[in-house]
């Protein structure tokens, strides 16, 4: 057992966020500065309405995001396209030339803004071949959508029904199973070859499904894939803190107006960008693994995407503070995860 006391400050290479929603329009003014204050780069999810499906749209979206980065901060949005049954293989080359790094698979109907998603993976095979040739990654929201599959089993069934066949058919296509939530996902990713990686969110490391129901229904803990039982959370913590290069930081920070989360059919998504690295530090500290945070947050993702590691650093201090309990989101209100609660680690600016 490690008996060295945990440090009170921690300096690590500046991290990146490998799974992020920033939305568009006025929302960018709130959420992009939060991410840019912590991370050097982020993989920007394409599930806008309408979705980002062309290289030209991705380039235009990148410029709108860049325009929302506060002066003095350097932040690079890494763009993705949204895979549909109709995404043409020719668009993949244009996308690569425009600097797009990945394509996102949403099974149709699986999550927020996924109506345009894939109905049958076979329809996308020519496009996946083009991605394998061009070196674009395939990022997956890994859940099946059939009504006969229990909500809590959708990730495990996706692996059996879709991921295993996909990896057999495209052995040299790099894939990321995004926001993993189960022991089954950890087992599968852990035993796979170096073409498969996985991101893990702060909220899936911090909470189990009791959080959604403690003392009443708590819509701000509702996201997809939904939080799972405690044994799954522990498997995720073990994976993230193991030092394995297959796992990397992806917040899946997903802003929604508070009135649409506190609603009869509240939307899925937790907002964590305002204090993301602090929440991860809390998890790693609690697991006695602060020394593994830098690999998970700053190295493994860059290496997997074959991008250079960042050169500057950030410093975290063990210091209680309370982030604001809400932010403006255009005309609406944005309530972050753990609104108004004390956090034990603080990022020094």
Residue 268, interface with ligand NCD (CB under 6 A)?
yes
- Clarify whether 285 is annotated catalytic: no
Tell me the window of 62-70, 92-100, 106-114, 146-154 that interacts with ligand NCD (CB under 6 A): 106-114
Contacts of 146 (CB under 8 A, 6+ apart): none
Taking CB under 5 A as the rule, which mask of x and - marks residues 241-260 in contact with Zn ion? -----------x--------
Tell me the window of 74-82, 110-118, 119-127, 272-280 that interacts with ligand NCD (CB under 6 A): 110-118
**Residue 141 CB, nearest approach to Zn ion (Å):** 4
Question: Which residue in 202, 214, 226, 330 sits closest to 274, CA to CA?
Answer: 202
Q: Which two tokens stand for residue 311?
A: 């050169």
Decide which of Zn ion, ligand NCD, none touches 47; Cβ closer than 5 to 8 Å per partner kind: ligand NCD
Is 14 or 204 the residue whose CB approaches ligand NCD more closely?
204
User: Catalytic: which of 252, 285, 303, 312?
Assistant: 252
Is 95 or 223 the residue whose CB approaches ligand NCD more closely?
223
Residue 46, interface with ligand NCD (CB under 6 A)?
no
Residue 252, interface with ligand NCD (CB under 6 A)?
yes
Question: Which residue in 21, 61, 18, 35 sits closest to 254, CA to CA?
Answer: 21
Handedness of CA 140, 40, 52, 172 (dihedral sign): negative
**Residue 347 CB, nearest approach to Zn ion (Å):** 22
Q: Which residues, in sequence order, are bridge partners of residue 186?
A: none
Overall size of the chain counted in residues: 349
Is 143 or 278 the residue whose CB approaches Zn ion more closely?
143
Decide which of ligand NCD, Zn ion, none touches 212; Cβ closer than 5 to 8 Å per partner kind: none
Residue nearest to Zn ion (CB): 141
**Residue 338 CB, nearest approach to ligand NCD (Å):** 16
- What Å distances lie between residue 191 and 188, 197, 225, CA to CA? 5, 11, 22
Query: Among 35, 47, 53, 54, which residue interacts with ligand NCD (rule: CB under 6 A)?
Result: 47
Residue 35, interface with ligand NCD (CB under 6 A)?
no
Is 9 or 210 the residue whose CB approaches ligand NCD more closely?
210
Query: Among 139, 224, 236, 279, which residue interacts with ligand NCD (rule: CB under 6 A)?
Result: 224
Residue 17, interface with Zn ion (CB under 5 A)?
no
Question: DSSP string spanning 2-69?
Answer: --SPPPSEEEEEPP-EEEE---STTHHHHHHHHHHTT-SEEEEP---SS---SHHHHHHHHHHHHHTS
Burial class (CB in 10 A: 0-12, 13-18, 19+), 265: exposed
**Residue 325 CB, nearest approach to Zn ion (Å):** 23
Is 252 or 278 the residue whose CB approaches Zn ion more closely?
252
Question: Three-state SS for 250?
Answer: coil
**Residue 243 CB, nearest approach to Zn ion (Å):** 25
Tell me the window of 3-11, 111-119, 157-165, 235-243 that interacts with ligand NCD (CB under 6 A): 111-119
Cα–Cα dist 48/21, whole Å: 9
Q: Are the CB atoms for 173 and 128 separated by under 8 Å?
A: yes
- What Å distances lie between residue 38 and 55, 57, 82, CA to CA? 27, 26, 26
Question: Which residue in 75, 70, 83, 81 sits closest to 42, CA to CA?
Answer: 75
The contact set with ligand NCD (CB under 6 A) reads: 21, 47, 111-113, 141, 223-224, 252, 254, 268-269
By annotation, the residues acting in catalysis are: 252
């Amino acid at each position: 057992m490690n008996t060295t006391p945990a440090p009170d400050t921690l300096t690590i290479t500046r991290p990146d966020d490998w799974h992020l929603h920033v939305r568009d329009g006025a929302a960018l003014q709130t959420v992009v500065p939060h991410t840019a204050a912590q991370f050097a780069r982020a993989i920007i999810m394409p599930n806008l309405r309408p979705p980002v499906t062309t290289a030209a749209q991705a380039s235009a979206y990148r410029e709108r995001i860049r325009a929302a980065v506060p002066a003095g901060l350097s932040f690079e949005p890494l763009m993705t396209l949204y895979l549909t049954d109709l995404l043409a293989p020719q668009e993949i080359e244009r996308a690569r030339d425009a600097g797009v790094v990945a394509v996102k698979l949403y099974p149709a109907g699986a999550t927020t803004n996924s109506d345009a998603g894939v109905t049958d993976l076979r329809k996308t095979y020519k496009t996946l071949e083009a991605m394998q040739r061009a070196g674009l990654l395939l990022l997956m929201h890994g859940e099946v959508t059939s009504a006969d599959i229990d909500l809590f089993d959708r990730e495990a069934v996706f692996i059996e029904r879709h991921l295993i066949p996909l990896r057999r058919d495209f052995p040299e296509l790099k894939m990321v199973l995004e926001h993993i939530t189960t022991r089954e996902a950890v087992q599968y990713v852990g035993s796979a070859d170096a073409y498969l990686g996985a991101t893990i969110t702060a909220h899936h490391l911090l909470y189990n499904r009791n959080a959604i129901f403690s003392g009443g229904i708590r819509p701000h803990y509702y996201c997809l894939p939904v939080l799972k039982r405690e044994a799954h959370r522990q498997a995720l913590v073990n994976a993230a803190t193991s030092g394995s290069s297959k796992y990397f930081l992806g917040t899946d920070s997903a802003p929604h107006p508070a009135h649409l989360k506190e609603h009869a059919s509240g939307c899925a998504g937790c907002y964590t960008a305002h204090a993301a690295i602090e929440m991860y530090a809390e998890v790693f500290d609690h697991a006695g693994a602060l020394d593994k945070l830098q690999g998970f947050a700053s190295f493994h993702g860059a290496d997997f995407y074959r991008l250079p590691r960042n050169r500057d650093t950030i410093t975290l201090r063990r210091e209680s503070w309370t982030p604001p309990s809400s932010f403006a989101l255009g005309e609406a209100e944005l309530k972050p995860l753990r609104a108004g609660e004390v956090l034990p680690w603080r990022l020094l600016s």
